[in-house]
Amino acid sequence: MLLLIPGPVQTRPEVRAAMAVDIAPWDRGFMPEYAGIREKVRDLAGGIAGQHACLPLQGAGHFITEAAIRTFVPAGAKLLLVMNGTYADRMARLAREAGRVVVPLAVPDHRSVTPAEVAEVLAADPAIGHVGIVYSETGSGIVNDVPGVGAAVRTAGRRMIVDAVSAFGALPFDLKAQPEVDAVVFTSNKCIEGLPGIGFAVCPIDRVTACAGNAGSWSFDLADIYATALRAGWGSFRFTPPVQALHAFGKALEFFQAEGGQPARHARYRENARLLHEGVRALGLKPYLDWDHQGPIIVTVHQPADPRFTLMEFVEALKTRGVLISNFYNTPVPTMRIGCIGDIHAEDIRFALRAIAETLDGMGIRQRDAA
């Protein structure tokens, strides 16, 4: 089966095979492996040894995002959130439920926010200490201008938290060039092409130590994760980790580096997105985003207007042809989401486009423009 979804992604067989081992996380043989993964991840984020730390947390992407918000935004403090997609909605919910005050900045989900839009809100409200932004909005497929918005945040003397869950490893990110960033967060199962199980935050150490005591949670406290590393070593855990997923992530990092790292991965995904965007148009379907706003992670396509079309039926029929796409959508109007990330190459996209064409024909869908 070809998984064309924006995570958990299609993985290489060698990465999946790395899961099939028993490991004790505190074993002297594994601790250096884990410590080495943390160093590699810090470096990939543009972090500097001694200045930045990789702080992993077991669980889904939402958990590491919540940990970053709890750690850096004090309870009762204001957080400006750029709202242009469903992952921003989720960030707002977890921030509110953690008792942080969300100031939403509504932006349409078919374009990036502009640095000027953020600067204006920050200028109007000096009580906003942080800006939260989703780098690649996996709802629609747009990419927010993180370096540009970061510069506006820096100028305004505020701090930033970046949800780079679906961006990290594919879109460029350089922590040392963005000193306004308190945390960039991502997971093992998206553009690095590992398996799900663990999230990572890379953060400036002076900010982590300054924020000790903010979290109001032991589980979701990045400062406590840092303190544990100092006390017990960078190969140590507070609680049982998904140790097999970590071992496999180490393998995925090897393939990532062998491929040529972030620039190569970006180029492969962008070509996947280009083929998809062009290919669905050739089938008479309408992409949700103009190519100018289309990111390399996910191509969202309007569901056909044809009354015979239902998403669930389409997804199940496509699956019988060897391709799995999401059976839900995250846009205000009915769409289909097709992932470009994972161990997916141009020939896979061509195969998927043929399968999509056959499936639409098989279902008798002739009216293919937007519903």
Verify binding: residue 41, ligand PLP, rule CB under 6 A: no
Q: Kindly provide the b/e burial profile for residues 317-348, where b requires at least 16 CB atoms within 10 angstroms of the residue's own CB.
A: ebbebebbbbbebbbeeebbbbbbbbbbeeeb
Phi, psi (degrees; rounded to nearest 5) at 183: -155, 135
Q: Which of 25, 61, 279, 295 binds ligand PLP (CB under 6 A)?
A: 61
**Segment interacting with ligand PLP, rule: CB under 6 A, options 21-29, 58-66, 122-130, 306-314:** 58-66
- Give dist(CA 165, CA 186) in Å, integer: 4
* Closest approach of ligand PLP to the CB of residue 301, in Å: 18
Question: Is residue 268 annotated as involved in ligand binding?
Answer: no
Concatenated DSSP letters for 22-37?
---TT-TTTHHHHHHH
* Closest approach of ligand PLP to the CB of residue 48, in Å: 26
The distance of Cα 350 from the centroid of its chain, to the nearest Å, equals: 25
Q: Which of 19, 23, 35, 60 binds ligand PLP (CB under 6 A)?
A: 60
* Closest approach of ligand PLP to the CB of residue 359, in Å: 26
Q: Which is nearer to ligand PLP, 62 or 251 (CB)?
A: 62
Q: Are 84 and 144 in contact (CB under 8 A)?
A: yes
Q: Which amino acid is at 266?
A: H
* Closest approach of ligand PLP to the CB of residue 62, in Å: 4
**Segment interacting with ligand PLP, rule: CB under 6 A, options 55-63, 107-115, 121-129, 209-217:** 55-63
Phi, psi (degrees; rounded to nearest 5) at 132: -110, 135
* Closest approach of ligand PLP to the CB of residue 94, in Å: 10
**Any idea which residue has 């989401």 for tokens?**
337
Phi, psi (degrees; rounded to nearest 5) at 285: -85, 160
Comparing CA positions, the residue from 277, 281, 279 lying closest to residue 298 is: 277
Read off the DSSP letter of residue 303: P
User: Which positions from 135 to 174 touch ligand PLP by CB under 6 A, shown as an x/- string?
Assistant: ---x------------------------x-xx--------
Q: Which of 34, 87, 309, 314 binds ligand PLP (CB under 6 A)?
A: 87
- Give dist(CA 26, CA 176) in Å, integer: 31
Verify binding: residue 187, ligand PLP, rule CB under 6 A: yes
Q: Which is nearer to ligand PLP, 167 or 356 (CB)?
A: 167
* Closest approach of ligand PLP to the CB of residue 360, in Å: 27
- Please state, in angstroms and as integers, the Cα–Cα distance from residue 228 to each residue in 31, 71, 186, 223, following that order: 14, 15, 21, 9
User: Which positions from 100 to 139 touch ligand PLP by CB under 6 A, shown as an x/- string?
Assistant: ----------------------------------x---x-
- Give dist(CA 74, CA 100) in Å, integer: 7
Which residues are near ligand PLP by CB under 6 A?
Answer: 6-7, 60-62, 87, 134, 138, 163, 165-166, 187
Which residues belong to the annotated binding site for substrate?
Answer: 337
